[in-house]
Amino acid sequence: MGPLSSLVYFPLIGMVIVMCLPKEAKVAIRWTSVGASIIPLVVSFALTIDYFFGHAATGLMAYVEGPYDWIPSLNVQYYLGADGISIPLLALTGLLSTLSLLASFNIENRVKEYFAFFLLLEAGMMGVFVALDFFLFYIFWEVMLVPMYFLIGVWGGPRKEYAAIKFFLYTLFGSIFMLVAILILYFTSTPHTLNMMTLIQSGSRLPYMLQMICFIFFFIAFAIKVPVWPFHTWLPDAHVEAPTAVSVILAGVLLKMGTYGMLRVSWPMFPAALKDMAFWIALLGAIGIIYGALVSMAQKDLKKLVAYSSVSHMGYCMLALGAFSSAQAITGCMFQMVSHGLITGALFLLVGVLYERAHTREIAAFGGLGSKLPVYSSIMFFFAMASLGLPGLSGFVSEVMIFLGSFGAVNQVLVGISVLGVVLGAAYILRMVQRVFLGDFDLAKWGKLTEINTLELVTVTPLMVLTLWIGVYPKPLVDLMSATLNKLITLMQR
């Protein structure tokens, strides 16, 4: 079993073990799951380091497994590989999975099922980032939906049933378009193949109409996942109803699958269609930035605020993807994916910490928490600043790269409007900070609130360290990705 397979199978093995444990053995179940996710975490970080020193200069696919025949009748192969755009996301997935599992220790209801589903989810996420065969990619893409449906639907908030089915239906609706596009690509390739690497070469030779159809079909599938405005309406529901750890995964990893899919599949595969659609993609991105930020400002619920800020932040990614001809913008896009995963993941964790104690997330209910919970408040303040793009933290780096890069590559008015998103971002973040952490503290109401505990600190500290590191010294991450991104950009500009 190669290292990439182990990323997928260790969580699956963990799931099987968890399912075999008696359901009363909650402690054993929790630690088994954490153990099963620490292995992929270690492997993914080891791969990151190894890739950085061994392969980053060339940016080629590394750790390739296969292609082995799996279903020869349908030309389906087992084919895995990772390069500069999947490696950082694998590390992010490994990290956030383990942290989310740690953050799930407070789940007391149906513990066994929860952790089993969570590990299945992790296997699916890892699989998406390493699959190089379309069939395999699609399987992992879909496999994830099932545990997600259960995690939201069983352990979610008051409107969990609605949120769960909405998420499931929306994403499945997107994936069927992807399935058609995959089939069209399969039958137009000679010899018929589902190998992504081969199809990236041959996809560009398709007739323009067919390229456009496939591009749009893939775009619908990926855009729903990102989510790009106007496909975003599942996201606030899912985020608000999902339990904390699931929100972390949803924001930290699942949304990145959409942008990863665009970078990996549809952007390099259909350059002619991309060229004509670039403006519209950037436009959707700009709308998302402004819309997400404006809606965030109006939120009364902390979690909903963070959820809509995701729409805004993923809008930056879309703007950069519209400016695909600029290496800087695309690098910024990858940066934004990683940094949004870290920051928003942490924000959801922190909102969860507060909700756990106060049983409400209403912004208006709080005030002056800074005086009662200094540690918690300063951590929250740290991530709030990262989210609004304070220089020195990772959010700033990615925003600068995206704006600088896209200014020369897409309509400049669009970029100008998008920059307003930063101001709006500052507005909703600062307003939230002011109302929750500053001002008068209601001793009668919140006198019993306790400070963030050790386990919770353990879950957010790694995210703080990485956010600061990327913000202060982004060069290693740039070096990790740049060669691969340059190759992809060459493909996009054919």
Q: Which is nearer to another protein, 74 or 455 (CB)?
A: 74
Q: Does the protein bind another protein through residue 16 (CB under 8 A)?
A: no
- Write down the least CB distance from residue 192 to another protein, Å: 9
- Of the candidate spans 186-194, 270-278, 300-308, 412-420, the one that interacts with another protein by CB under 8 A turns out to be 186-194
By the rule CB under 8 A, 228 interacts with another protein: no
Instruction: State which of positions 129-148 bind another protein (CB under 8 A).
Output: 135, 138-139, 142-143, 145-146
CB neighbour burial string for 336-361, b if at least 16 within 10 angstroms, e if fewer: bbbbbbbbbbbbbbbbbbbbebbeeb
Q: Judged by CB, which is closer to another protein: 114, or 428?
A: 114
74 interacts with another protein by CB under 8 A: yes
Work out whether 222 is an interface residue with another protein (CB under 8 A): no
Asked if residues 489 and 330 have their Cβ atoms less than 8 Å apart, the reply is yes
Q: What is the separation of C-alpha 71 from the centre of its chain, rounded to a whole number of angstroms?
A: 30
- Does 160 bind another protein (CB under 8 A)? Our answer is yes
Q: Is 13 in the site for another protein (CB under 8 A)?
A: no
Per CB under 8 A, 149 contacts another protein:
yes
CA distance 435 to 424: 17
Q: Take residue 380 and report the two structure tokens written for it.
A: 């929250």
Does 212 help bind another protein (rule: CB under 8 A)? no
Establish if 183 lies at the interface with another protein (CB under 8 A): yes
What letter represents residue 460's amino acid?
Answer: V
DSSP string, 389-442: T-TTSHHHHHHHHHHHHHHTTS-HHHHHHHHHHHHHHHHHHHHHHHHHHSS---
Shortest Cβ 145–another protein spacing (Å): 7
How many helices and strands in the chain, by DSSP H and E?
Answer: 23, 2
Q: Rounded to the nearest whole angstrom, what is the least distance from the CB of residue 304 to another protein in the complex?
A: 22
* Residue 27 binds another protein (CB under 8 A): no
- Please name the residue that has the structure tokens 């054993």: 28
> How far is residue 9's CA from residue 120's CA, in Å, rounded to a whole number?
10
Q: Does position 169 bind another protein by CB under 8 A?
A: yes
Cis peptide before 191 (omega within 30 of 0): yes
**71 interacts with another protein by CB under 8 A:** yes
- Identify whether the C-beta of residue 249 lies closer than 8 Å to the C-beta of residue 241: no
The stretch near another protein (CB under 8 A) out of 83-91, 162-170, 389-397, 447-455 is 162-170
216 binds another protein (CB under 8 A): no
Q: Is 21 in the site for another protein (CB under 8 A)?
A: no
Rounded Cα distance between 58 and 229, Å, is: 35
Contact 273, 208 (CB under 8 A): yes
Contact status: 25 vs another protein (CB under 8 A): no
CA distance 334 to 337: 5
| Contact of 149 with 254, CB cutoff 8 Å | no
Min separation Cβ 146 and another protein, Å: 6
Please state, in angstroms and rounded to a whole number, the distance separating the CA atoms of residues 455 and 225. Answer: 31
Figure out which of the listed residues 25, 38, 61, 165 binds another protein, where binding follows CB under 8 A.
Answer: 165
404 binds another protein, rule: CB under 8 A: no
Q: Considering the rule CB under 8 A, would residue 5 count as an interface residue with another protein?
A: no
Total residues contacting another protein by CB under 8 A comes to 34
Contact call for residue 190 and another protein (CB under 8 A): no
| 113 near another protein, judged by CB under 8 A | yes
Q: Find out whether 379 and 386 touch, Cβ atoms under 8 Å.
A: no
Task: Kindly write down the DSSP assignment for every residue of 275-287, as one continuous string.
Answer: HHHHHHHHHHHHH
Report if residue 115 touches another protein, rule: CB under 8 A: no
The only residue of 51, 168, 218, 222 in contact with another protein, by rule CB under 8 A: 168
CB of 101 to another protein, least distance (A): 21
What are the C-alpha distances in Å from 174 to residues 77, 100, 124, 145, 267?
A: 24, 26, 17, 12, 17
Residue number with CB closer to another protein (184 or 294): 184
Which residues contribute to the site for another protein (CB under 8 A)?
70-74, 113, 135, 138-139, 142-143, 145-146, 149-150, 153-154, 160-161, 164-165, 168-169, 172-173, 176-177, 179-180, 183-184, 186-188
